[in-house]
Amino acid sequence: MTSARSNRNGSAPAEGAVGGASRTAPESAARTTAAPTPAAAAASTRTPERGIPEATVARLPIYLRALITLAERGIATCSSEELATAAGVNSAKLRKDLSYLGSYGTRGVGYDVEYLRYQIAREIGVTQDWPVVIVGIGNLGHALANYSGFTSRGFRIVALLDSDPARLGELVGEMRIRSTTELEAVVVEHDVAIGVIATPAPAAQEVCDRLVAAGVTSILNFAPTVLSVPAGVDVRKVDLSIELQILAYHEQRKAMNGPEGPALTRVVETA
């Protein structure tokens, strides 16, 4: 385990004061005590202090995936330009992002794929597996349970929970669906920090409250509803219909610009 997570259980579930996550909370990173994690092995002398911009954090997994792809092709070294192309971003942005982690490249040469891959994985925290529990095993829950991307990228599903008695015991992949009554026990037993909610919207808040009360501090929410959580708990949401609606907005504008609009734009047609 070694997971430094402590038991913050027992706290009141309660709906947090503020809605939404505190992820963006600036929290002036005081941390005056000199050199936390002092003498970090041999590497760098000056730990740039842990303060990676949120936008960069969101891109690190993309870089990681690109690096894995490159490694599978047997490529040992790559330039920022190559990696940026593989990740679909600007090379300047890539270099700046990586600079927040430290100086892991070599000027005039580029980056060592395996080395950089490990460094990013370590920074994200996926060098070991995080236990994850999925609540709500409907169509989407099934898909998530079977999604190989979870288990292969630093996560391990430890339980599938559903409140429908008809589903209990059903096998999904290699895992059996268990009752939501076991939620607290599962979270405590496996020291689960990350929970995935794939229930219908009406049930999401209650499940969320129970997860948080049991000790979960990060939640990935697929239910189309706004979750209230206490400070210190991160929530990320994935809403499929919202994504489509954003696309629809732009489609509508294209259609409006088309007929009469100032369409002095370019037509770029690929093969």
Partner DNA sequence: TCCAGTTTGTTCCCGCGTTCACAAACTCCT
Partner DNA sequence: AGGAGTTTGTGAACGCGGGAACAAACTGGA
Cβ-proximal residues to 218 (8 Å cutoff; 6+ apart), any chain: 193, 194, 195, 233, 234, 235, 236
Residue 72 interacting entry, from its own copies, DNA, none, C-beta within 5 to 8 Å by type:
none
Q: Which is nearer to its own copies, 57 or 168 (CB)?
A: 57
Contact range with its own copies by CB under 8 A, out of 82-90, 99-107, 110-118, 181-189:
82-90
Q: Which is nearer to its own copies, 66 or 177 (CB)?
A: 66
Asked if 210 is part of the footprint of its own copies (rule: CB under 8 A), the reply reads no
Asked if 1 is part of the footprint of its own copies (rule: CB under 8 A), the reply reads no
Measured CA to CA, the distance from residue 240 to residue 261 in angstroms comes to 30
Q: Which is nearer to its own copies, 66 or 135 (CB)?
A: 66
Q: Which of 1, 108, 139, 166 binds its own copies (CB under 8 A)?
A: 139
Asked if 98 is part of the footprint of its own copies (rule: CB under 8 A), the reply reads no
Q: Which is nearer to its own copies, 108 or 270 (CB)?
A: 270
Which residues between 164 and 203 bind its own copies (CB under 8 A)? 193-194, 196
Q: How far is the CB of 108 from its own copies (least distance, A)?
A: 25
Residues contacting its own copies: total by CB under 8 A? 117
Burial of 231 (0-12, 13-18, 19+ CB in 10 A): exposed
Q: How far is the CB of 174 from DNA (least distance, A)?
A: 39
Q: Which is nearer to its own copies, 109 or 248 (CB)?
A: 248
How would you label 37-72 residue by residue, b for 16+ Cβ within 10 Å and e otherwise? Answer: eeeeeeeeeeeeeeeeeeebeebbbbbbbbbbebee
Q: How far is the CB of 255 from its own copies (least distance, A)?
A: 4
Q: How far is the CB of 105 from DNA (least distance, A)?
A: 3
Contact range with its own copies by CB under 8 A, out of 98-106, 161-169, 176-184, 222-230:
222-230
Residue 232 interacting entry, from DNA, its own copies, none, C-beta within 5 to 8 Å by type:
its own copies
